[in-house]
Copies of this chain bind each other. A is one copy, B any other.
């Protein structure tokens, strides 16, 4: 019996951090060694036999891998320290997702804190598995890019989209997607009974990441028109995707295509034709669930759903760790 992987979580009192702790605590091949939180240092960690410690009090040589659920800009520096200490690093922030410092500065309006770390392996296993398996550092994708990319990947791969026509992504996210820091926008009485679009018109920071990765698979696609909405639920993310098909593909063939492409994927479910993916299919699971509706001859409507804190963050981070350590990819996840 081999020894367990020793893991540490930075930023463990945020919503993604708390889910990470929950998953890692139950993972059969992981010992969770520490969980940092500067605000809650000393308090018990929910679901684990640990107390939160300050990030500065952590010893890097006590672990084999660190998970970074830190704000962007703070995360890259900690990744650097982890790399220098020869640890594996799974970053959940935005710091390592974009391939160039220029792209980062364009999306985040600030110079990249550690440009020497770019590019990093992009941690979406269903699209980029080979690169993740051999990597020491992996950038776990954002929740929006995860659902949208998985929702269009089969069409990208088979050249199934009509060039020059936009890919419409109408996305809806539960409130934990906005993080745990108190703000008026995420106050209960502001969200309750409401539905609110925000960062419309390609201004959301995830648009750059989404197009970067989509173009790696297929560079003959039109622009992504992406609009996120704040949904009055705690967790769950739905991307409603509307596409125009290339002349070579009829809408009634799309479901077969998706079924085929995702056939061996344990964490992507394509529902039978006629069944619709809903938040409940994915919430509290580590899966992405997809349904397909053919519309007329040339269009398709794809619904792609994840739990924003699981397949959209913590679950996918652990899936990446499993790959990096040569474990069964779904260990601790199903």
Contacts and interface: CB of A to CB of B under 8 A. Distances in A.
A201 B293 contact: yes
A257 interface: no
Interface string A171-185: 010111000101110
A197 to B, nearest CB: 5
A189 B223 CA distance: 33
A interface SS class: mixed
A303 B197 contact: yes
A296 B170 contact: no
A192 B234 contact: yes
Contact of A192 (B188, B195, B197): B188
Interface string A282-326: 010000000101111001010100000000000000000000000
A259 interface: no
Given A194-B278, A225-B301, 13 more contacts: A168-B170, A168-B242, A170-B242, A172-B172, A188-B188, A188-B234, A192-B234, A195-B231, A196-B276, A200-B303, A201-B294, A225-B299, A232-B233
Interface of A: 15, 165-166, 168, 170, 172, 174-176, 180, 182-184, 186-198, 200-202, 223, 225, 227, 229, 231-236, 238, 240, 242, 244, 276-280, 283, 291, 293-296, 299, 301, 303
30 contacts: A15-B189, A166-B299, A172-B195, A174-B189, A175-B187, A176-B189, A180-B184, A180-B189, A182-B186, A186-B189, A187-B188, A188-B192, A192-B234, A193-B233, A193-B236, A193-B283, A195-B231, A197-B240, A197-B291, A200-B276, A200-B295, A200-B303, A202-B295, A202-B296, A223-B296, A225-B295, A225-B299, A227-B301, A229-B240, A232-B233
